[in-house]
Chains A and B, each alone.
Chain A
Amino acid sequence: MSQSDQSLLVALVGNPNTGKSTLFNALTGLRQRVGNYPGVTVARKSGTCDCGNGQKVELVDLPGLYSLAAASPDEQVVTDALAGNIAGDRQPDAVVMVVDATNLLRNLFLASQVAELGRPMVIVLNQSDVADKQGLHIDTALLSQRLGGVPVVLASAWKGEGVAEVRRGIATALAGRIQMKRVAWPAKIAAALTDVVQDAHRDTGKDVSSAEAQRLLFDAGNAHSDRLGWSQAQRDKSLRAARDKVRTSGYNPMAAEPLVHYAHLRALLEGVLREGSVRAGRSAAVDKLLLHRLVGPVLFTVIMLGLFASVFWLAKFPMQWIQFGVDWVKLTVAHSMDSTPMLQSLVADGIIGGVGAFLAFLPQILILFLFVGILEDSGYMARAAFIMDRMFSWCGLNGKSFVPMLSGFACAIPGLLSTRTIEDPKARLATAFVVPFMSCSARFPIYALMCAAFIGPIYGPGWESAVMVGMHCVGLLFAVPTAFVLTRFVLKVRPQPFVLELPRYQMPKPRDVLWRMWQNAAEFVSKAGTVIFAITIIVWALSYFPRDASVAERIKAANPAATEEGVKAKVQAAYVEQSYMGRFGKAVQPVFDPLGFDWKITVGVLASFPAREVIVSTLGVTYSVGEGAKADSQHLRHAMQDAKWQEGPRAGKPIFSLAAVLSLMVFFALCSQCGPTIATLAQESGGWKWAAASFVYMTALAWIVSALLYQVVIRLLP
C-alpha cells in the first residue's frame, strides 16, 4: 500500500452526540461546527487524516444517526454514502465507528448494522473519561476479540486522548481488511433475505448485496428500490412473500432486525462490560433546575438577557475605537483627494462610509458568537431546545423542528439544511417555512444600530438589552402561529414524538469556541470586503448621479444671503434628492409611509432585499454622501438622530421617532430579505412555490405588523 494513498476513503460514522465531529477535528486538523444537539452535521465534511505511519487517507464525517433504517434525508445520505451510492463519491474503504463508551449496547447496534456492509472497521469507544467517572470498565481486548478482531480504541476526543491509537487503528484495519463480526440471522430470515436478493436480481438485472436486501426487507421506505429501478408491483410481491417467511420464524418483520442485532450484541458484550456503582449524578441535578417546568424558561430568559447585555457592554469601547479609526481614515483620505471631488466622494462617503458603518459591528458579532459557542459547547443549547419544545409543541411542529429553528438564530441556511433530520416531509416543509422567521445574525447590526442610537441613550442600557431580546423573539412570536395554521389546516401534519438525547454538561473547550468565533468574524469581514463593498459602490453611484451643475447655481441664486457652508449643505441635500436613488426612493416612499419610513430608509429597505445587513452600509452612504471630510465620530448615529421630516404634516419632527425605530426593527425581524435563504428554501422544498409563498407571506406580514405598530405607537407617544 502507498504511504500517502489519499485515494483511500474512510468514513466516520456514529450516533449523534458521540463526539464524532470533535474526533474528526482531532484526526484531520481541520475545524467544523462542534455542537451538542443532534443533527448538527448535515453536509459532507472531509479532510486528510495521517494514519501515523506516514500513510494519509481521506476522512469523511457523515451525519450522526441511530440506525441505517433511513427515515430522514440525512440518514439517507449516510446509507447512500456507505453503500457508495452518492454521485461523485466512492464507497468507503473502511469505517471508523464512533461509539459512546457510556452507552455501549445501543451504540453498537448501528455498528452491527454497518458491519453488514462488509467494510473494514475500527471501533472508537469515545468519552472513555466519562465512562471511567461513571465506574464503567470495558475490556477492550475481549471486545475486540468478540467483534472479530477489529481494532477497539478507548478515546476521549475532547481531551485529545487516544487519537494516535485511532490513527494506528485505521492503518491496521485497512491493511488487514478486518471486518466486524456479522450477526447470525435465524435460518428463515436468512432465507427471506436470499429470496429478496434473487428476486431483485431477476427483476432488475442488478446485483443486490445482502445489506441492501436487509434495507428492502426491514424498512418501510422504498428509497433502495427506487435506486434499483425495481417496479412497485414486482417489489411488493417479492417483499410480501419474504416478510411472510420472516413471520413464520416468530418475528414481526418490522421488529426482527433490532431484536436479532440486540440479541447478538448482548451475547458479545457478556463479560466485556463491568458497571461500577458511580452514576452520572451532577448533570441530572443541574437538569432538575434548568429543565424545571417553571424555573427553566425563566432561567432561559435571564441567560438570554444577560447574553445581550454583555454583548452591548463589552463591545461598547471596541466599537468606538473602530469608529474612531474609520473616521480617521475617512478624513485622511478625503483631505488627500480634494482635487478630485467625485473620487473623493466615492472613496470617503461610499466605500469607507458604507463598509466602515458595517465593520463597526464586528466586536458585537465576535462577543455574541463567543457566548453562543460557550452555551453550545457546555451542553446548554440542547436544554434550550428541550425547553422550547415543551413551550411550543402545541403548535403542531415536529419536536425535531426546534433544532433547525435554533440554528436559524445564527443563519437561516444551515437551519434550512438541518430540516433534513425531520422524517415527515410535511413537518419538514412546515419547519423550513418558519425557519427564516428566526432572528439570524444578519439582523443583528440593524437592531444594534437602532438600540444604540435611540433606545439606549433615551431609555437606558436595561431597555437596550430588553428591546434586543424582544426583537429576537418577534420572529418566534409569529413563527409559532404560522406553524400552527400550516401544520393543522394547510399541510395537516400528524404529531410525532420528539426524542432528544441531552448531552452531558462539560467545560467548553476554549480552542473550539475561539475557532468558531474566528470563523464567524472572518465570514463577517470577508462579507464586508466583498459583497458589502461592491453593493456600497453601486448604492453610492445611484446616490451620486446624476449631478446637474445648474442645481448648485439655482440654490445660490435663491439664497443670496446664506453662508457658503449653508449653501453647500443645501446643494448636497438637493444632489442626493435628485439622484437616481433619491428619485427611486421618493417614488416608492408612499408605500412605506404608513410604516413611518422616509425616502432614505425606503432606499435602505429596498437595497436590503438581497441581503438584509446591507441596510447599515446603505444608510451609511445615503446619510454621508456629500458630507465628505466633515464626518465626525459616530457620524451615522448622529445623522440619524438629527434627521427631520422636511415636508408634510410631520415637517420638523424627527424621522427616527420611537414609533419609526420600532417599526423599522420589526420590519427587519419579519421581512424576507435574503436571496440565498429563498433559493435554499426552493431547493429544499423541491420547487419555487413554497419559496415564493414564504417571500410574499413574510414581506406582507412585516409591512402589516410594522404599519400597525407605527400607527399605534405614534398616537400613544406622538
Chain B
Amino acid sequence: MNYEAIIVGAIVGVAAGWLVRRWVAAAKRRKEGGCAGDCGCSAKLKPKK
C-alpha cells in the first residue's frame, strides 16, 4: 500500500472538507440573520417582529 498517497489524500481531503464546512456554516449564519462577513462575529441586528 502506498502510505505516502494515503497521507497526501487525507490532508487534501481534510482541507477540502474544512473549507466546505466553513462555507456551509457561513451560509447558515447569514440565513439566520447573522453577520455575513468572514469575521466570525455574532452581530445580529434583526429587530423583533
Residues of A at the B interface (CB closer than 8 Å) are 43-44, 73, 76-77, 80, 85-88, 227, 340, 342-343, 346, 413-414, 417, 523, 531, 533-535, 537-538, 541, 611, 675-676, 679-680, 682-683
Query: In the complex, which of the residues A88, A538, A541 contacts B44, with contact meaning CB atoms closer than 8 Å?
Result: A88
How many chain B residues sit at the interface, stated as a range, is: 20 to 34
Asked if A679 and B26 sit within 8 Å, CB to CB, the answer is yes
Are A683 and B36 in touch, CB under 8 angstroms? yes
Contact A227 B47 (CB under 8 A): yes
Residues B4 and A680 in contact, CB atoms below 8 Å apart: no
Counting CB contacts under 8 A, is B11 at the interface?
Answer: yes
B residues neighboring A (CB under 8 Å): 4-5, 7-8, 11-12, 15-16, 18-19, 22-23, 26-27, 30, 35-39, 41, 43-49
B48 contact from A44, A87, A537, A676, Cβ within 8 A: A87
Closest chain-B Cβ to A80's Cβ sits at a distance in Å of 5
Contact at B47–A76, with CB atoms within 8 Å? yes
Q: Which of B7, B23, B39, B45 has the most CB of A within 10 A?
A: B45
Q: Given A343-B4, A534-B19, are A85 and B47 also a contact pair (CB < 8 Å)?
A: yes
Residues of A within 8 A of B11 (CB): 346, 537
- A538/B16 in contact, CB under 8 A: yes
Pair count A-B, CB < 8 A:
78
Query: Chain A nearest CB: distance from B12 CB in Å?
Result: 5
Contacts A77-B45, A534-B18; is A346 near B8 (CB within 8 Å)?
Answer: yes
Q: By the criterion CB–CB under 8 Å, are B37 and A676 in contact?
A: yes
User: Is the beta-carbon distance between A679 and B16 smaller than 8 angstroms?
Assistant: no
A87 touches B44 (CB 8 A): yes
* Chain A residues, Cβ within 8 Å of B22: 531
Contacts A76-B47, A676-B26 given; does A340 touch B4 at CB 8 Å:
yes
CB distance from B34 to the nearest CB of A (A): 9
> Is A87 touching B43 in the complex (CB atoms < 8 A)?
no
Interchain CA distance A340-B4 in the complex, whole Å:
7
Contact of A43 among B5, B36, B43 (CB under 8 A): B43
User: A342, B5: Cβ atoms under 8 Å?
Assistant: yes
List, in ascending order, chain A residues with CB within 8 A of B39's CB.
413, 523
- Scoring B18, B27, B48 by chain A CB atoms within 10 A of each residue's CB, the highest score goes to B48
* B19–A535 touching, CB < 8 Å: yes
| CA of A676 to CA of B11, assembled, Å | 26
CB distance from A609 to the nearest CB of B (A): 13
Q: CB-CB < 8 A to B4: which residues of A?
A: 340, 342-343
Q: Which residue of A lies closest to B34 (CB)?
A: A683
Q: A414 to B38: give the CA distance in the assembly, Å.
A: 11
Distance of B48 from chain A, by nearest CB (Å):
5
Interchain CB contact under 8 A, A538 and B15: yes
Q: Which residues of A have CB within 8 Å of B48? A: 80, 85-87, 227
Known: A44-B45, A85-B47. A682 touches B35 (CB 8 A): no
- B45 and A43 contacting across the interface, CB-CB below 8 Å: yes
Q: Are B12 and A541 in contact (CB under 8 A)?
A: yes
The answer, among B12, B41, B44, for a CB contact under 8 Å with A537, is B12
A342 to chain B: which residues have CB within 8 Å? Answer: 4-5, 8
> Are A343 and B47 within 8 A (Cβ)?
no
Is B36 a contact of A682 with CB atoms below 8 Å? yes
Listed by A's residue number, 16 A-B pairs whose Cβ atoms lie within 8 Å are: A44-B43, A44-B44, A85-B47, A86-B47, A88-B44, A227-B47, A227-B48, A346-B11, A417-B43, A531-B19, A534-B16, A537-B12, A541-B12, A675-B23, A676-B37, A683-B36
